[in-house]
Structure 1
Amino acid sequence: MPVVLYGSQTWSTRKQDLKRLLTFERKVIRKIFEPVRDQTTGEWRRRHNTELEELYKEPNILGVMRSKILQWAGHVRMEATGWPKITMDWIPSGSRPVGRPRKRWINGMREDLLQLGVMENWRQIAEDRDGWRALTVVARGRLGLIARIELNPI
């Protein structure tokens, strides 16, 4: 998982990216837990997603990724000046192409915070390091952000 999620704190993800990450994770877990022999027909079959969830009790790859994003946001808020803060608060000027604008990193992070029940005062909450760390643990857990992601299971 560390290799796949290297640098994921700064990713601006789309639903398609999240779906690919989940697919990759399930593919690896299926390799680890191997196929199972069906008792009625005697044929080998691959495990279903529900079986994989029962066997693999660790947090989902998306929960880990979103937890890392929140950890990074708590780290960046500490710097009063500097490039991370400047790029986080920067609003581009000028004209943009026609169509829906791309989702920025900060927008995805704010959506995650809203799902956790933290409103727009996240920078004040991030000042309390222990409270912010607890928030990232909730995001990593199965009942955090993972349960609310609506993707079509494969």
Structure 2
Amino acid sequence: MGRKIRLTKEFRFEMAHALWKYDGLCKHFHGHSYILRVTVMGEPIEDKKSPKYGMVMDFGLLKQIVHEEVVDRMDHALVLNNDSEHQALLSLPEMGERVILTQYQPTCENMLLEMAERIKPRLPKGVLLHSLRLNETANSFAEWYAEDNK
């Protein structure tokens, strides 16, 4: 009988972006209130001497990892494609703004791919990243599943 359990923790952050060369309104600077759901999978620890006995993973550790790799970096940041031609960006860091320049178009989809790559190696042994869901708005989201990316 299987003992796999999935744990999910939800995170919220504010972030702005613009989609370079996009043919719609999202080519302009705009922001979102993102909701990120991170689901990990593993088996509860069976060692009765372990302080984590009965847990797949401590929710506090999952929170720490996701904050360090995603939330603390992206919250209240402006994320743009490094190839974009926004000359005004050159003065933003001097104004104390948080600007992240990426090698990719900062769509919900591409951000999920980066988030998965940042979170996966930080998880404890035996705990796998199962899925990510990133809501960009109340009714628009993208999902990443490990089983789809083998």
TM-score normalized by structure 1? 0.27
Larger Rg: 1
Structure having greater relative contact order (Cα 8 Å, sep ≥ 6):
1
TM-score when scaled to structure 2? 0.27
